[in-house]
A and B are shown apart, each in its own frame.
Chain A
Amino acid sequence: MAAVSGLMRRPLEQVSGLLRRRFHRTAPAALQVTVREAINQGMDEELERDEKVFLLGEEVAQYDGAYKVSRGLWKKYGDKRIIDTPISEMGFAGIAVGAAMAGLRPICEFMTFNFSMQAIDQVINSAAKTYYMSGGHQPVPIVFRGPNGASAGVAAQHSQCFAAWYGHCPGLKVVSPWNSEDAKGLIKSAIRDNNPVVVLENELMYGVPFEFPSEAQSKDFLIPIGKAKIERQGTHITVVSHSRPVGHCLEAATVLSKEGIECEVINMRTIRPMDIETIEASVMKTNHLITVEGGWPQFGVGAEVCARIMEGPAFNFLDAPAVRVTGADVPMPYAKILEDNSVPQVKDIIFAIKKTLNI
């Protein structure tokens, strides 16, 4: 990240003693932006840039968003661009898809992706498949966004991760931001993309601040869909993750670094189309792989990563079977002790890494 590379450069400057272009001893106070603010900024910029873009969903306008992600947008853009809908997911998702077909660029918010199940026919059958079914005639430039996966104490019907469900479907693009930079860059790319894009946010990440590199402050800052990012370089094992668990992986990596184990942590950023090349290149370097996700194990994101590794050149570089760390295979329980043990924790990641490395 920007701050780290700044620190790296300083000793060299001092040693070389050459002309300093600027007098600055430390990097300027880094801009801290929460994930919520980043998504808000991204949507605001795109609403401003293209008048065909609009946002609809429950409580997005006058309430400023159930999780305050769309705060201030209704005040700025009004009723025609920021639309409060009745509690009718199937209905308003369908209306949004129709609007996209007719040439507008809707952002359809699901208060949580659990409620998208009410509308899933519109997402898959009306949005995802249409360009294909029409033989290339009818694109559907729509974004479906909202919080996905576990929160805290919201129990079984409000905690499901839909990465695998949506990632399964051709015709959809599916992204899963982790930090603020991801959130802003990916929502902007999603809005500018002419295909249906599912943006899986995370409620627990909304309030988390991250340092915002200067590039991210630009109105044209985009993160390409379909490209993973190596958040941390390492040599002993490749750790692949998406969304909030990326943070847990980095924590695990810090702990293990003290024991001399260097993890390469990859933030997938996109679920579909999956950037398997970045993962392969990493595995070919480290010879070990674990995947970490919040969703259920069966038919999950990690399962897909493992299958693809087997199909490609990286398989022959594995010194041990690939391992998946996932949510527990149960409907999310409510009681704290049960919930804590139903989601992957830092200790589970460390344990799996050591098992894989046979330590």
Chain B
Amino acid sequence: MKKMLAAAVSRVLSGVAQKPASRVLVASCNYSNDATFEIKKCDLYRLEEGPPVTTVLTREDGLKYYRMMQTIRRMELKADQLYKQKFIRGFCHLCDGQEACCVGLEAGINPTDHVITSYRAHGLCYTRGLSVRAILAELTGRRGGCAKGKGGSMHMYAKNFYGGNGIVGAQGPLGAGGQIFEAYNMAALWKLPCVFVCENNLYGMGTSAERAAASTDYYKRGHFIPGLRVDGMDVLCVREATRFAADYCRSEKGPIVMELQTYRYHGHSMSDPGVSYRTRQEIQNVRSKSDPIMLLKDRMVNSKLATVEEFKEIDVEVRKEINDAAHFATTDPEPPLEELGHHIYWDNPPFEVRGASQWIKFKSLS
């Protein structure tokens, strides 16, 4: 321990600053490399056993999850700002509050697994490998956007990530084949290795779950498909549940349903203030008691996996990354007009696309 402290101090004194902010870090704590945490037991449906109730979190993983969640949180808040400044147009559905879902999910699967989701997709876009720059520039409709400015908020794609879908429920069958119940049927019939994830944030636009669903036990709605209900505000819970679900599928037992109980701070979209169908008190309660980023940080600090200062440094770095990305997103030029007709067909010889009249033509390249 003394050696570590000496090393830290000498590093600071020798001026080898890995971070430009020259904050003197004289910590007298023990860094653990990992810690064991208890996590909430998942509700099970048609399953003999479920994910474990304890998990080991390494310092490295913890810091990584924190950074990812904080990046997503800040990115979404930046998107809120850019929308109000009218740099972002159309629909914009933010997922702040739900960060543990996408980060936990990613932690439980491999990059080679395939993921598809709905329109509230920015978090998953990031965890699936798109940079904040590419995401924000897509939101602002610039050529540096991940879809070259042609898709916008709901239509971002990456390797092994199929968007981003504007039509509610459409992603179910695309991932498996019919709409949700039809998808369930075929997945079970053909034993497709599919995890059907429901991020249950309690509301479908302005309608609470109770007013839209005869049964709100979504993890049971797969009927003949087993299911798990998971605390979606705890990134470790999501990770363990995802690992369990992924293993279940990989061992050829067929599909499984995973309901993540989570919450969105924003309204349905930027045109929904989000307070006509729920109280501000409710939102505040969740924020103060169950915020996923806060939960992880508190756990790590209390078990000495990291210090408060370290988290502050990460916050500073994240803020810079987001601000740089926002700068790019607001200064990158729009896509060139000549490319309006491109990308209609794949693997096709060039052809002409008609514009607003027969005299306006655009070239279409694959």
Q: How far is the CA of A90 from the CA of B334 in the complex (A)?
A: 38
Query: In the assembled complex, how far is the CB of residue B70 from the closest CB belonging to chain A, in whole angstroms?
Result: 27
Do B150 and A328 touch across chains, with their CB atoms under 8 A apart? no
Q: Which residues of B contact A325 (CB under 8 A)?
A: 356-357
B357 touches A335 (CB 8 A): no
Which residues of chain A from 277 to 294 have a CB within 8 Å of any chain B CB? Answer: none
Query: Are A328's CB and B353's CB within 8 A?
Result: yes
CB distance from B120 to the nearest CB of A (A): 14
Q: Is B213 an interface residue (CB 8 A)?
A: yes
Q: Is A329 touching B353 in the complex (CB atoms < 8 A)?
A: yes
Kindly list chain A residues whose C-beta atoms are within 8 Å of the C-beta of B344: 330-331
**Given A153-B90, A335-B141, residue A329 in contact with residue B354 (CB < 8 A):** yes
Q: Which of A57-65, A97-105, A235-243, A250-258 contacts B (4 or more CB under 8 A)?
A: A57-65
Could you tell me which A residues sit within 8 Å of B by CB distance? Answer: 58-59, 62-63, 66, 84, 86-87, 90, 114-115, 117-118, 151-158, 297, 323-331, 333-338, 341-345, 348, 351-352, 355
Contact present for B149 and A335 (CB under 8 Å) = yes
Selected A-B contacts with CB under 8 Å, 29 pairs = A63-B277, A86-B212, A87-B212, A90-B179, A153-B90, A153-B152, A155-B151, A157-B166, A158-B166, A326-B354, A326-B356, A326-B357, A328-B355, A330-B341, A330-B344, A330-B353, A333-B335, A334-B90, A335-B142, A335-B150, A335-B334, A336-B141, A337-B141, A341-B355, A341-B356, A342-B340, A345-B356, A348-B356, A351-B359
B204 CB within 8 Å of chain A = yes
Expressed in whole angstroms, the Cα–Cα distance for A155 and B145 within the complex equals 14
A262 and B205 CA atoms in complex are apart in Å by 48
Indicate if the CB atoms of B356 and A334 lie closer than 8 Å.
Answer: no
Q: Indicate if the CB atoms of A334 and B151 lie closer than 8 Å.
A: yes
Residues of B within 8 A of A156 (CB): 150-151, 155, 166
- B167 A355 Cβ-Cβ under 8 A: no
Alpha-carbon distance between A343 and B356 when the two chains are bound, in angstroms = 7
CB of B261 to closest CB in A, whole Å: 19
Chain B's interface size range is 35 or more
Known A-B contacts A63-B205, A87-B169, A152-B90; the reply to A324 vs B337 at CB < 8 A is no
B residues near A115, Cβ cutoff 8 Å: 167-168
- Decide if B354 touches A297 in the complex (CB within 8 Å): yes
Cβ contacts under 8 Å, A341 to chain B: 337, 340, 355-356
Q: Which residues of chain B (86-118) have a CB below 8 Å from chain A? A: 89-91
Question: How far in angstroms is the closest Cβ of chain B from A161?
Answer: 14
Judge whether B334 and A154 touch: CB under 8 Å.
no
B152 touches A155 (CB 8 A): yes
Give chain B interface residues in 322-351, CB to chain A under 8 Å.
334-335, 337, 339-341, 344
Contact indicator A157/B90 (Cβ below 8 Å): no
A206–chain B nearest beta-carbon distance, Å:
13
| B273 to A: closest C-beta gap in Å | 11
Q: Which residues of B contact A (CB under 8 A)?
A: 89-91, 138, 141-143, 145, 147, 149-155, 165-169, 179, 204-207, 211-213, 276-277, 334-335, 337, 339-341, 344, 353-360, 362
When distances are taken between beta carbons in the complex, the residues of chain A under 8 Å from B354 are 297, 326, 328-329
CB distance from B165 to the nearest CB of A (A): 8
Contacts of B155 in A (CB 8 A): 155-157, 334
Pick the contact of B211: A84, A90, A157, A352 (CB < 8 A).
A84
Question: Whole-angstrom distance between the alpha carbons of A63 and B142 in the complex?
Answer: 34
A98 vs chain B, min Cβ distance (A)? 18
* B207 partner residues in chain A, CB cutoff 8 A: 58-59, 62-63, 84, 86
B360 surroundings in chain A (CB, below 8 A):
328, 348
A335 → chain B closest CB, angstroms: 3
Residues in A with CB closer than 8 Å to B355 are 328-329, 341-342
> What residues of B have a CB within 8 angstroms of the CB of A333 in the complex?
149-150, 335, 340
Note all chain A residues with C-beta closer than 8 A to B356. Answer: 325-328, 341-345, 348
Cross-chain contact A154 with B90 (CB below 8 angstroms): yes
Q: Which residues of B contact A342 (CB under 8 A)?
A: 340, 355-356
Q: Are A154 and B91 in contact (CB under 8 A)?
A: yes
Task: Give CA–CA (A58, B167) in the complex, Å.
Answer: 14
Residues of chain A with a CB closer than 8 A to B168's CB: 87, 115
Given A87-B204, A338-B340, does the pair A155, B335 have CB atoms closer than 8 Å? no
Find out whether the CB atom of B337 lies under 8 angstroms from the CB atom of A151.
Answer: no
B89 in contact with A58 (CB, 8 Å): no
Given A153-B90, A334-B152, A351-B359, is A59 in contact with B142 using a C-beta cutoff of 8 Å? Answer: no
Q: List A contacts of B179 (CB < 8 A).
A: 90, 118
B85 → chain A closest CB, angstroms: 14
The interface residues of chain B lying within 8 Å CB-to-CB of A326 are 354, 356-357
Decide if B205 touches A323 in the complex (CB within 8 Å): no
User: Please, which residues of chain A bring their CB within 8 A of the CB of B166?
Assistant: 114, 155-158
